[in-house]
């Protein structure tokens, strides 16, 4: 039941996160400082974010033609988060940060995602935006645009999508021309201290956090194409560059002026869920806020021209792991709510002997096997998804502060696991939310209980940050085949290590054997999908492949967690916990549930992959 206990189990019994304190970057830290941050996060999320979650759903953002209005709880809750210094938790001390390991920062975020994903998206986007400038910007851009983000003084966005270009970013039409005279004319950019200065024109759709009055400014990170001498843009992703476009113009010394940049809100999107994060259609350069008498939003190039998508991937990879974790935590919220309900709702009597005695009191529904099945599904998704998110965060730490060998392995595994970290929780935590509604029966279908909102909020996660289908193409089309399948080999070696450990523990050995079989099935299907070398055949069933691969990864994680629970029990950990022996037994039972109920789905998904089945590929539009 307690998320905090599971976070502690994952961080310490499984990931041994305290070992990170031996690395130079984290020597100031210890288990005590980790605990203090988690205590604070848990409390703040419970007391400030959670009570606001329903309000921000019912009081959608509005636009009166001039200004966006958000419920008062939104800036209030975010300010508590900012005041606690959590925006820059993992950043360098000279950026105002605490130099916490990323894995602890993500563990801290998990409480906020669970309490209110919509509120937590503001810091998530702002941090990702500032991290991208930190990775690719000039020292002045970092000082002027990233640092205020880490301080929580400004907010950040990512502006990729356009009305006509969502999944296909190569088709964006936003243009950036050099702003040589400061009035949008000329052919060469001036040496502006804030970077090569351009004027941007175009429409950006679905921009989260795109317009509001919180903070001192909004820093948009915008993808746009720079036309050549002939006025034409280069087709494809090679022509895409990245720009910083502040909502209000900023001077070279970082002071924010009162002058609006030429970025206008065209309207708000009215969403199924996730209503607390304002979502916008922005018009860049339409002339509503002309700068120096000229239409065109002032933007500063980040990184090299033509490298925009590559730079933006810093943000996108971070956001993909974060989106996966947020999906998981909505799954966790539904799990908690339906578990609490199931322990209190009396309904029916036991199956079997005595069950027909209608004078006997009814039993709480948690005693019905089918309800336990629905709780088990939610448990494996919530706790397994959290484990996957924290594992990825620790790989980010290894990538940053590990030995050269750890770094190499972390980079490779992160590339492979990112599509899974994003898509698996998006799909299965949504299903978990559906099961939470089911446990509450009719009550779950009403707005008097929170579970329907969790489902609506979570429905977003299979769509944004690369749809499910796009993640599948990335996994099977790129990640498992790049460098002659190197990433898949590295992953397989890690899985084999876990299987070898399980072999040495009598009652876990059978799970290890099932996992070995699943790994072999995925490896064989990968080879068979690509046997003809034709992408249209290999990728015809990329989504079932993604599902199978995701379940393989989670099978591996659940075996790891079963091993960690076994070791914790042997060492007497948790024996004094108020959660009792059930805590570790529950981990073990969840692993068994996953292996018995979920892992067997893998071969069924892989049949069409291995066949290179073309039923869907050959279907003609007029057959539907
Ligand atoms: C609430 C919300 C918040 C968002 N926030 C942001 C944001 O802050 N910044 C931002 O830039 N964007 C944001 N987005 C946009 C989001 O990333 C896009 O919606 C997403 O990339 C999909 O684009 P699309 O909606 O145009 O759908 P489309 O790209 O039109 O896709 C429609 C369907 O077709 C499928 N499809 C498309 N192309 C292919 C293909 N090649 N192969 C197989 N299937 C394909 C997709 O998988 C999908 O199922 C947000 C979206 C929403 C809904």
Of all protein residues, the one whose alpha carbon is nearest to atom 19 of ligand 1 is: 464
Q: What tokens does 474 get?
A: 């990335």
Atom of ligand 1 nearest to the CA of 159: 11
Of all protein residues, the one whose alpha carbon is nearest to atom 11 of ligand 1 is: 160
Mark residue 293 as left, alpha or beta (left: phi above 0; alpha: psi -120 to 50; beta: remaining): left
State in Å: Cα 498 to ligand 1 middle: 36
State in Å: Cα 439 to ligand 1 middle: 32
Atom of ligand 1 nearest to the CA of 269: 1
Residue 1 has pLDDT above 60, yes or no: no
State in Å: Cα 466 to ligand 1 middle: 6
Residue 585 has pLDDT above 70, yes or no: yes
State in Å: Cα 125 to ligand 1 middle: 17
State in Å: Cα 308 to ligand 1 middle: 19
Question: What are the residues whose beta carbons fall under 8 Å from the beta carbon of 587, sequence distance 6 or more?
Answer: 9, 383, 561, 562, 564, 565
Residue 413 has pLDDT above 70, yes or no: yes
pLDDT one-digit tens code per residue, 225-238: 999 989 999 999 98
Q: What are phi and psi of 69, to 5 degrees?
A: -115, 125
Q: Which helix (H) or strand (E) holds 123?
A: helix 117-136
Give CA–CA dist 183/225, Å, rounded: 19
Q: What tokens does 361 get?
A: 């009191």
Residue 482 has pLDDT above 70, yes or no: yes
Query: Mean pLDDT across the chain, nearest whole number?
Result: 96
pLDDT one-digit tens code per residue, 31-90: 999 999 999 999 999 999 999 999 999 999 999 999 999 999 999 999 999 999 999 999
State in Å: Cα 616 to ligand 1 middle: 21
Q: What is the pLDDT of residue 180?
A: 79
Q: Which helix (H) or strand (E) holds 495?
A: helix 482-503
Of all protein residues, the one whose alpha carbon is nearest to atom 23 of ligand 1 is: 166
Could you count the other beta carbons within 10 Å of the beta carbon of residue 378? 26
- Find the mean pLDDT for residues 128-153: 97
Give CA–CA dist 156/141, Å, rounded: 14
State in Å: Cα 526 to ligand 1 middle: 26
Burial category of 196 from C-beta neighbours within 10 Å (exposed 0-12, middle 13-18, buried 19 and up): buried
Q: What tokens does 385 get?
A: 């998804």
In this prediction, residue 186 has a pLDDT band, given cuts at 50, 70 and 90, of: low
Measured CA distances, 283 to 156, 239, 380, 424, 564 (Å): 17, 21, 43, 34, 52
Residue 426 has pLDDT above 80, yes or no: yes
Give CA–CA dist 149/131, Å, rounded: 9
Atom of ligand 1 nearest to the CA of 160: 11
Residue of 271, 279, 467, 469 to mutate, ligand 1, most atoms within 8 A of C-beta: 467
Strands 248-250 and 256-260, sheet pairing: antiparallel
- Find the mean pLDDT for residues 571-596: 95
Of all protein residues, the one whose alpha carbon is nearest to atom 43 of ligand 1 is: 469
188 vs 321 pLDDT, higher one: 321
- 138-147, 176-185, 402-411, 497-506: lowest mean pLDDT where? 176-185
Q: What is the pLDDT of residue 605?
A: 98
Could you count the other beta carbons within 10 Å of the beta carbon of residue 366? 17
Give CA–CA dist 167/162, Å, rounded: 10
Partner residues linked to 298 by β-bridges: 199
Q: Which helix (H) or strand (E) holds 298?
A: strand 297-302
Measured CA distances, 294 to 220, 288, 574 (Å): 20, 10, 66
Atom of ligand 1 nearest to the CA of 209: 8
Residue of 206, 284, 469 to mutate, ligand 1, most atoms within 8 A of C-beta: 206
Q: What tokens does 223 get?
A: 């993808």
Q: What is the pLDDT of residue 188?
A: 55
End-to-end CA distance of the chain: 46
Of all protein residues, the one whose alpha carbon is nearest to atom 7 of ligand 1 is: 207
Measured CA distances, 590 to 345, 560, 564, 582 (Å): 23, 12, 13, 12
Atom of ligand 1 nearest to the CA of 271: 1
State in Å: Cα 207 to ligand 1 middle: 12
Atom of ligand 1 nearest to the CA of 158: 9
pLDDT one-digit tens code per residue, 515-568: 999 999 999 999 999 999 999 999 999 999 999 999 999 999 999 999 999 999
Q: What are phi and psi of 24, to 5 degrees?
A: -50, -40
Q: Can you give the pTM of this predicted structure?
A: 0.97
pLDDT one-digit tens code per residue, 382-396: 999 999 999 999 999
- Find the mean pLDDT for residues 25-33: 97
DSSP assigned state of 290: -
Q: Which residues line ligand 1 (CB under 6 A)?
A: 157-161, 166-167, 206-208, 271, 274, 279, 460, 463-465, 467, 469-470
State in Å: Cα 467 to ligand 1 middle: 6
State in Å: Cα 169 to ligand 1 middle: 10
Of all protein residues, the one whose alpha carbon is nearest to atom 35 of ligand 1 is: 469
Q: What is the pLDDT of residue 587?
A: 97
Measured CA distances, 54 to 45, 270, 352, 448 (Å): 14, 16, 42, 10
State in Å: Cα 462 to ligand 1 middle: 9
């Amino acid at each position: 039941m307690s998320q905090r206990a599971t976070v502690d189990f994952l961080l310490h019994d499984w990931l041994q996160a305290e070992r990170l304190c031996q690395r130079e970057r984290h020597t100031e830290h210890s288990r005590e400082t980790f605990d203090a941050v988690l205590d604070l996060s848990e409390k703040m999320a419970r007391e400030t974010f959670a009570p606001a979650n329903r309000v921000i759903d019912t009081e959608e953002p509005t636009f009166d033609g001039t200004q966006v209005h958000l419920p008062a709880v939104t800036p209030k809750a975010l300010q508590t988060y900012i005041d606690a210094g959590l925006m820059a938790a993992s950043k360098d001390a000279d950026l105002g940060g605490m130099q916490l390991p990323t894995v602890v920062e993500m563990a801290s975020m998990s409480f906020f995602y669970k309490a209110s994903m919509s509120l937590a998206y503001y810091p998530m986007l702002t941090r990702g935006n500032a991290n991208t400038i930190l990775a690719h910007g000039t020292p002045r851009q970092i000082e002027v645009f990233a640092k205020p983000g880490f301080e929580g003084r400004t907010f950040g966005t990512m502006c990729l999508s356009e009305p006509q270009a969502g999944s296909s970013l190569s088709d964006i039409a936003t243009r950036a021309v050099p702003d040589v005279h400061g009035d949008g004319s000329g052919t060469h950019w001036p040496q502006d201290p804030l970077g090569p200065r351009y004027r941007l024109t175009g429409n950006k759709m679905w921009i989260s956090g795109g317009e509001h009055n919180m903070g001192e400014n909004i820093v948009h990170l915008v993808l746009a194409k720079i036309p050549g001498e002939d006025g034409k843009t280069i087709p494809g992703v090679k022509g895409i560059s990245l720009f910083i476009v502040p909502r209000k113009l900023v001077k070279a010394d970082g002071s924010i002026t009162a002058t609006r940049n030429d970025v206008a809100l065209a309207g708000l999107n009215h969403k199924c869920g996730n209503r607390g994060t304002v979502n916008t259609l922005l018009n860049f350069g339409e002339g509503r806020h002309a700068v120096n008498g000229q239409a065109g939003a002032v933007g500063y190039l980040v990184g090299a021209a033509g490298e925009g998508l590559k730079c933006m991937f810093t943000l996108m990879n971070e956001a993909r792991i974060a989106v996966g974790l947020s999906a998981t935590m909505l799954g966790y919220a539904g799990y908690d709510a339906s578990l609490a309900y199931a322990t209190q709702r009396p309904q029916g009597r036991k199956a079997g002997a005595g069950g027909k005695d209608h004078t006997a009191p009814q039993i709480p529904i948690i005693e019905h096997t089918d309800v336990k099945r629905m709780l088990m599904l939610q448990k494996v998704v919530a706790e397994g998804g959290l484990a996957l998110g924290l594992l990825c965060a620790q790989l980010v730490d290894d990538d940053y502060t590990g030995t050269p060998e750890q770094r190499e392995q972390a980079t490779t595994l992160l590339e492979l696991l990112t599509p899974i970290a994003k898509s698996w929780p998006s799909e299965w935590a949504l299903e978990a939310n559906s099961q939470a509604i089911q446990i509450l029966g009719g009550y779950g279908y009403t707005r008097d209980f929170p579970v329907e909102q969790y489902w609506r909020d979570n429905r977003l996660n299979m769509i944004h940050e690369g749809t499910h289908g796009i993640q599948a193409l990335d996994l099977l089309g790129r990640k498992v085949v790049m460098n002659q399948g190197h990433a898949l080999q590295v992953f397989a070696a890690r899985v084999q290590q876990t299987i070898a450990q399980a072999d040495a523990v009598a009652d876990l050995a059978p799970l290890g054997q099932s996992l070995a079989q699943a790994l072999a099935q995925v490896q064989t299907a990968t080879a068979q999908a690509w046997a003809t070398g034709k992408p249209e055949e290999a990728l015809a069933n990329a989504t079932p492949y993604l599902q199978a691969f995701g379940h393989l990864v989670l099978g591996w994680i659940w075996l790891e967690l079963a091993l960690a629970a076994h070791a914790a029990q042997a060492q007497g950990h948790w024996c004094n916990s108020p959660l009792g022996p059930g805590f570790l037994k529950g981990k073990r039972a969840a692993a068994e549930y996953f292996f018995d109920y979920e892992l067997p789905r893998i071969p069924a998904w892989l049949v069409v992959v291995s066949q290179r089945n073309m039923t869907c590929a050959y279907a003609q539009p007029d057959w539907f």
